[in-house]
Amino acid sequence: MREVVQQIFLLTGTAVRASPGRAAICLLEMVGTLITVLSPLWLKVLVDGAVAHDRGAIVLAVVALMVSAGVAFALTLAGNHARIGLAERAGFEFDRQIAELTSRIPSLEHQERADYLDQLEVIREQRSALGNALRFLLVLVRSMLFSVATLVVAATVEPRLLIVMVAGLPALIGTRYRYRWKSDAEQASAARWRLTRHLGELVTSASAGMELRIFNLRGEIRSRLRRSVDAAGAPYVAADRKSALLSFAESAFFLLVAGLVIGWLVLDSTPGTVALAIAMLAGLQSAAVQSAWMAAHAADSLRTAGRLLWLRSYAARVAREQYAGTLRPPTELREGIALEGVSFRYHGAESSSLRDVSLVLPAGAVVALVGENGAGKSTLVKLLTGLYRPTGGRILVDGVDLTEFDVEAWRSSGSAAFQDYAKFEFSVRESVGVGLLRSFDDASAVRTALHRAAADELEGSLPAGLATQLGPTWEGGVDLSGGQWQKVALARALMRQEPLLLVFDEPTSALDAPTEHALFERYAAAARAGATRGAITLLVTHRFSTVRVADLILVLSDGEVAEYGSHEELIAAQGHYAALYHLQAAGYR
């Protein structure tokens, strides 16, 4: 119950904040249209007046009926307009909240964990229910108030009409079942909708388009898409079918009881009372249908609000439990970064991706991180950049636990470039400039970063230089080659001139080996020149020609440290590294 109250507060509070004026008009409409509750009473006065030839009663009843219909009509018109505007504004506000909450969470877990992704998928799918929530709730309350008021009016005239209340009970009880069926269907469909969206992106995206054509996969993906849509819709169809059957049974019961009550009234009541009973029952019936509809929609909104509240509390929990640090990171490193028994296991994974890793990345060092695919290199990078917290052990920066630092400040003090870089489809200047927001618009800083990424020629090769829009789907936009996109991402990372921890997680895989080697040699030289601040450079690469530029080489194997030392030491040790090095060297000969 507490949760439902919180959900209602979230929905109504957000809608009222999004557009207070429109929310007030909607409320006025709801209260105003309640005057139509009295219509059956005026009808009774009219019929009894006509039977008794009472002209005064007839005029009074006709005027009252016209006034209440006119007021209700005017309010409904104003309300319709306000509701559409309110739904739009509240919808934007919820979209903003969802985007902000998702992007504010410092960890990556919610974007990689299947069950969290399913929750986010349902929120995304159902978010239109959030914008319309106030409308659903208001109409639901109005229909219920209308039903209660109708019964009160009727009871004052003819107590036997209260028996009709009994007829509404099954519908009330059925609402619980309908809610549960729909909620289960949403949960069961979430992963299937995600798959559908993924397949939809495959058939529409240009990058997948090449392989779909080369491998003649378009028919296969289309038929998977059809199956996936059917599978995703199936739980909803089943839930709707059960709900429809239940509604049919409820309506049949209502009509049966209502028919019996009217039959009883016909035996011993005035024509006016019978007219009142029929009008009231018709009103009740339509209020019941409307209530059922609105209850279903309001339930959708409440469930989605519940998921949004879950996202809020998840974000707060992550911030509280994993990212509560407030310390400013040091401006220079004296000792370096020490890993003490660091382990990490992804949620739901059968084994750990890192196991008991203990070593020191000394201040001022250039460290290369090598290992086979799946050895745990990127996972280690995620831990060092604070994207995940170790599930065991700790990471110390000059003796201070990494979790003690304010995570945003820690990330601002470093920089990173990844193999799976983001393609910011902005102008070239912005796409690079976002690496350092305060120099976002500084063309000369962007040119320096491009120079450091060995991409000086890029500006001259583009139609509008740094102002060129990236992304061929935008007006005047151009696409870049894989290597050029990587250089833009690299330049972005190099906007920060003196990062304390500079991570290159295979950001140059699209470049040829000599270019990568030359680049890293340059960074290593720059890092050594600036080593007075103790900055650490971490290079993740599969190319052993690049590895040689590092002071220290860390070899990971199946999540564990296999070897750690200088190139000369590891060659002399004749171990894993030496074997891989000689193998690649032989390949280049």
Ligand X SMILES: Nc1ncnc2c1ncn2[C@@H]1O[C@H](COP(=O)(O)OP(=O)(O)OP(=O)(O)O)[C@@H](O)[C@H]1O
Nearer CB in complex with ligand X: 254/504: 504
Residues of this chain, 457-516, that bind ligand X according to CB under 6 A: none
Per CB under 6 A, does 271 bind ligand X?
Answer: no
Which stretch, 305-313, 377-385, 437-445, 570-578, contacts ligand X (CB under 6 A)? 377-385
Closest contact distance (angstroms) between CB of 503 and ligand X is 12
Query: For residues 12, 14, 19 and 23, what is the CA-based torsion angle, rounded to 10 degrees?
Result: 0
CA distances from 45 to 40, 148, 169 (A): 9, 21, 30
Pair type for strands 336-344 and 400-401 = unpaired
The structure tokens listed for 370 are 């090598």
Phi, psi of 562 (to 5 degrees): -90, -40
* Binding flags for ligand X, 73-112, as an x/- string (CB under 6 A): ---------------------------------------x
Per CB under 6 A, does 379 bind ligand X?
Answer: yes
247: left (phi over 0), alpha (psi -120 to 50) or beta: alpha
Closest contact distance (angstroms) between CB of 403 and ligand X is 20
Closest contact distance (angstroms) between CB of 523 and ligand X is 20
Closest contact distance (angstroms) between CB of 376 and ligand X is 5
State the Cα–Cα distance between residues 486 and 418, nearest whole angstrom: 9
List the one residue from 89, 377, 496, 567 that touches ligand X (CB under 6 A): 377
* Binding flags for ligand X, 289-328, as an x/- string (CB under 6 A): ----------------------------------------
Per CB under 6 A, does 539 bind ligand X?
Answer: no
The structure tokens listed for 206 are 């240009």
Q: Which of 487, 485, 494, 508 is nearest to 445 (CA)?
A: 494
Closest contact distance (angstroms) between CB of 402 and ligand X is 18
CA distances from 11 to 131, 137, 473 (A): 8, 9, 37
Closest contact distance (angstroms) between CB of 339 and ligand X is 15
State the Cα–Cα distance between residues 458 and 446, nearest whole angstrom: 12
Which stretch, 18-26, 149-157, 366-374, 477-485, contacts ligand X (CB under 6 A)? 366-374
List the one residue from 346, 356, 396, 565 that touches ligand X (CB under 6 A): 346
List the one residue from 228, 378, 439, 468 that touches ligand X (CB under 6 A): 378
The structure tokens listed for 567 are 């190139």
Per CB under 6 A, does 349 bind ligand X?
Answer: yes
Kindly report the number of other CB atoms within 10 A of residue 117's CB atom. Answer: 15
Nearer CB in complex with ligand X: 146/344: 344
State the Cα–Cα distance between residues 575 and 578, nearest whole angstrom: 5
Residues of this chain, 177-216, that bind ligand X according to CB under 6 A: none
Closest contact distance (angstroms) between CB of 374 and ligand X is 4
Per CB under 6 A, does 374 bind ligand X?
Answer: yes
State the Cα–Cα distance between residues 335 and 438, nearest whole angstrom: 30
Closest contact distance (angstroms) between CB of 32 and ligand X is 55
What is the residue-wise DSSP string for 348-379?
T-SS-SEEEEEEEEETT-EEEEEESTTSSHHH
The structure tokens listed for 268 are 């011993």
Positions that interact with ligand X (CB under 6 A): 112, 346, 349, 353, 371, 373-379
